[in-house]
Amino acid sequence: MSNKKALCPICGSNKSEIIYRVAGHHRRDIRPEVSIGRCMKCKTIFLAEADHFFQEDLYSYYKQYIGAKIEDLVSPLTLVSYDRVLKRLCKITNIQNILDVGCGKGEFVWAARNSGYAIKGIELSLEAVSVARSFNLPVQQHSLFSPALDSSSWNAITMFEVIEHVENPVAMIQRATDLLAPGGVLYLTTPNYDSLDRLCLGEKWNVFHPEHIIYFSTRGLARLVRQHEPRLRLIAVESNNISPQLFGFVRSLFRLPYLGKRNLKSSGYIDDHVVAPDLRTISEGTSLLRSLKRLINLTLTIMGMGSTTILIAHKKD
Ligand SMILES: [Zn+2]
């Protein structure tokens, strides 16, 4: 490793301690070595050393989806979770338009449009935009900072697993707030550094990757928003679910049988997030399993240890 070293993306300090050294074990045949550091000043966990930091070809894997059908990219379970997100947003404000930031292949854009919402997606990866456009989705290749976006004009801004990819998350949250109409809602998700997954898997946690610059805990993300964006009022900050990776790890540790479908890929869905059984697939099972899922999610939420952090905030009038 060439040991290029990064400054803390939150406070700019050059003093950090390395807490994980990660050797190649990751999906998609990318086998990078990275070091994860903790800022000694503000305690932010971030990508401290890597062979390379941002490179466009990190996201070129999207091109494998060119020619696919959108229906094959979004599993029924993901559609159910998108529907839940949309219903939740509607309870907070009157949704007339949605901006999906870092929309990837456009799965959420497609789902929201099919449910009758006016939505636009923006995405930096040219390959991802090409895939989304092949589905005739309203997706454009530009950043959140583009002057093409009018301030105070969006009722809802969604960012699914995006904020961990950016070099300046504070500027991103502030810009999103600029773009929200008064009363508009920001919905963002990110992997939770304090999750049971990371605690059990350690350096094997597959979220450690050169794509991911910052590793937020649920509480840390809430603190960041409170400190840097006074125009936002937090509505919900929670974490839920256990990752498929942890399920696989526990199963192999105790030699347990599969609980959900063996491999949804074989049933036609190539959604990255559901290739292994997780709590969502369990929810398809009996009412006992569904109750168990609710209990596990409640416990994880209370302890701040779910795999995904969800933050919902609205812009004060
Ligand atoms: Zn710092």
Ligand 1: centre distance to CA 170 (Å): 12
Ligand 1 centroid from CA 188, angstroms: 22
- Tens-level pLDDT at each residue, the chain (317 residues): 445 678 999 999 999 999 999 876 555 545 568 899 999 999 999 999 876 655 656 566 677 787 788 888 888 888 999 999 999 999 999 999 999 999 999 999 999 999 999 999 999 988 899 999 999 999 999 999 999 998 889 999 999 999 999 999 999 999 999 999 999 999 999 999 999 999 999 998 989 988 899 999 999 999 999 999 999 999 999 998 888 888 778 777 877 665 544 444 433 333 433 334 455 665 556 788 778 878 888 898 889 999 999 999 999 98
Q: How far apart are CA 167 and CA 212, in angstroms?
A: 9
Distance 47 CA to ligand 1 centre (A): 12
Q: 174 CA to middle of ligand 1, Å?
A: 18
Give the integer Cα–Cα distance in Å for 143 and 24.
30
Query: DSSP characters for 50-102?
Result: ES-S--GGGGGGGGGGTT--HHHHS-HHHHHHHHHHHHHHHHHS--S-EEEET
For β-strands 308-315 and 232-240, DSSP reports them as antiparallel
11 C-alpha vs ligand 1 centroid, how far in Å?
A: 4
Residue 185: how many other CB atoms lie within 10 Å: 25
Residue 6 Cα, ligand 1 centroid: separation in angstroms? 11
Q: How far is the centre of ligand 1, averaged over its atoms, from the C-alpha of 14 (Å)?
A: 8
Give distance in angstroms: CA of 223 to centre of ligand 1.
Answer: 14
Q: Please give the distance, rounded to the nearest whole angstrom, from the Cα atom of residue 18 to the centre of ligand 1.
A: 13
φ/ψ region of 106 (left if φ > 0, alpha if ψ in -120 to 50, else beta) reads: left
pLDDT digit string (tens) for 292-302? 878 888 898 88
Q: Which two tokens stand for residue 49?
A: 């050393």
Cα of 4 vs centre of ligand 1, distance in Å, is: 17
Ligand 1 center to 186 CA (angstroms): 25
- Pairwise CA distance, residues 117 & 283, whole Å: 27
Ligand 1: distance of its center to the CA of 45 in Å?
A: 8
- Residue 92: its pLDDT value, please? 94
CA 10 / ligand 1 centre spacing (Å):
5
- Give distance in angstroms: CA of 17 to centre of ligand 1: 11
Distance from the alpha carbon of residue 42 to the mean position of ligand 1, in angstroms: 4
What is the per-residue pLDDT for 29?
A: 47
